[in-house]
Amino acid sequence: MGLSPQRTTERLAGLFDVHHQRLFRLALRLSADREEARDLVQEAFLRAARRPGAVPDGAEEAWLVRTLVNLCRDRYRRLGVRARAHESLRRNEETGHPEEAAVIRTTVRSALGRLAPRRRAVIVLHELDGLAVREVARLLGIGEVTVRWHLMAARRELARLLSETKEDRR
């Protein structure tokens, strides 16, 4: 895309204003903590800033979501997010929040942290964002059959993980 720097900046500013909150919520659901989520969102927008021509007109949201999920996958591979999720869970338990909501939140975050990033993105977008299978497929750039397959596997895996956690707490 041959936009001038001025136009590129304006376009990027528009993208940021429209999508940053939604993207941050998604990042919170895909990452281990708030700092990581903030880093992921900023990195996604920085990629758009460095290569403005790579962001397709009319499909900016899908591009940003895919970039965010890919960043999660990179981080998942590089830093061992599973270990970080367990650490986060342990830390939260140690601080001791007796409220049930906090316990559930910690449990869910821990269980989501055990899923592979793409599977986690599929279940989060479908179950928490409430998007249809077709929309999830469009945003992630994969087939609907693949989305359904990931959903089925993620539900089975989450049910097992949450049951295990409940057993451990007793």
Contact residues for other proteins, defined by CB under 8 A: 5, 8-9, 12-13, 16-17, 20-21, 24-26, 28-29, 38, 41-42, 45-46, 48-50, 52, 101, 104-109, 112, 123, 127-128, 155, 158-159, 162-163
Least distance in angstroms from the C-beta of 5 to other proteins: 5
Q: Considering beta carbons, is residue 25 or 82 the nearer one to other proteins? A: 25
Give SS3 for 99.
coil
CA nearest to 133, candidates 125, 99, 61, 115: 125
Q: Considering beta carbons, is residue 112 or 137 the nearer one to other proteins? A: 112
Least distance in angstroms from the C-beta of 111 to other proteins: 8
Q: Considering beta carbons, is residue 45 or 63 the nearer one to other proteins? A: 45
In whole angstroms, what is the distance from residue 30 CA to residue 143 CA?
20
In whole angstroms, what is the distance from residue 7 CA to residue 9 CA?
5
Phi and psi torsions of 142, nearest 5°: -130, 170
Q: Considering beta carbons, is residue 28 or 137 the nearer one to other proteins? A: 28
Least distance in angstroms from the C-beta of 141 to other proteins: 23
H helix runs in 31-76, sequence order: 34-50, 60-75
Phi and psi torsions of 82, nearest 5°: -55, -45
Q: Could you tell me the CA-to-CA distances from 151 to 34, 103, 133 in Å, in that order?
A: 25, 24, 9
Give residue for tokens 């999920």. Answer: 69
Q: Considering beta carbons, is residue 94 or 101 the nearer one to other proteins? A: 101
Least distance in angstroms from the C-beta of 20 to other proteins: 6
Least distance in angstroms from the C-beta of 109 to other proteins: 5
Tokens linked to 69: 């999920």
